[in-house]
Amino acid sequence: MRLKHPTARLALAALLVAVPASVAAAGTVHAAPAPASAARLAAVGLDDPHKKDIAMQLVSSAENSSLDWKSQYKYIEDIKDGRGYTAGIIGFCSGTGDMLDLVEHYTDLKPGNILAKYLPALRKVNGTESHAGLGSAFEKDWATAAKDSVFQQAQNDERDRVYFNPAVNQAKADGLRALGQFAYYDAIVMHGPGDSSDSFGGIRKAAMKKAKTPAQGGDEAAYLKAFLAARKTVMLKEEAHSDTSRVDTEQTVFLNAKNFDLNPPLKWKVYGDSYAINN
């Protein structure tokens, strides 16, 4: 959510097109799945409502130091990462296009809303870290809009359209269970969709050079280790993401425990703080 790209809509389309291609490339056209594959298919995915809520809590622990992700609709600040404002439940950024997409969607759902007047300014600052035309008034109005259920729904919609659904769909196509689906989601939220080396697509490609996905006949644990290692390499390139504990003391902990279905109880640490989801 901190590292977005202004071409999110185009990149998303490319990612969705890539899903069936990846399945075809994997060469997994068989008469019947092996027992292990059948078990994976039968497992509950991250798009199950309860598992999705767990995913949101995990992301919130890293981004907001809280499991209460629903309180983050009102969140807004400039974290000085060169992307302008970061706000909302998955850190929509004024400098990278997804905040603009969000406010446009909100305005489609509710014309004349309190944020609609900022659309010209959001278009101008897109691609920059500027606050021109926004500032404290925008921050105040964002907090007011966050009380509106329509704006909350707009945030949910854009989270799912740009990040959650593409990540989960790709992970399922790669033969990954809930843990792998979450690893993809957390990565696409931070690094953005796309195929550049520092995007989700680039991280996935780097991992696939090291290990086969389960859909390609590879070992799930081995592939996820390769994916998390590739992600850490990208994180360490940027100071804002140089603390890799969301990989080291969260996702790797679940992987080492072989909790591929991401079943509670879950215990982890991010930035040294301890968290738990017990049910």
Give catalytic status of residue 63 as yes or no: yes
Per annotation, catalytic residue among 47, 48, 53, 63: 63
Residue 129: CA atoms inside 13 Å, Cβ hemisphere, count?
9
- Does 248 participate in catalysis according to the annotation? no
The residue written with tokens 């359209």 in the block is: 161
Sort strands 92-93 and 76-77 into parallel, antiparallel or unpaired.
unpaired
Sign of CA dihedral 3, 7, 13, 15: negative
Is residue 202 classed exposed, middle or buried when 0-12, 13-18 and 19+ CB atoms within 10 A define those classes? middle
Query: Closest Cα partner for 266 from 257, 277, 255?
Result: 277
| DSSP H stretches of helix in the chain | 8-26, 35-42, 49-64, 98-109, 119-125, 135-145, 149-158, 165-173, 178-191, 200-210, 220-235, 245-246, 252-256
Q: Distance between CA atoms of 148 and 19, rounded to whole angstroms? A: 35
253 SS3 class: helix
Active-site position among 47, 53, 81, 104? 81
Cis-peptide, bond into residue 265, ω within 30° of zero = yes
Catalytic residues, by residue number, are 63, 81
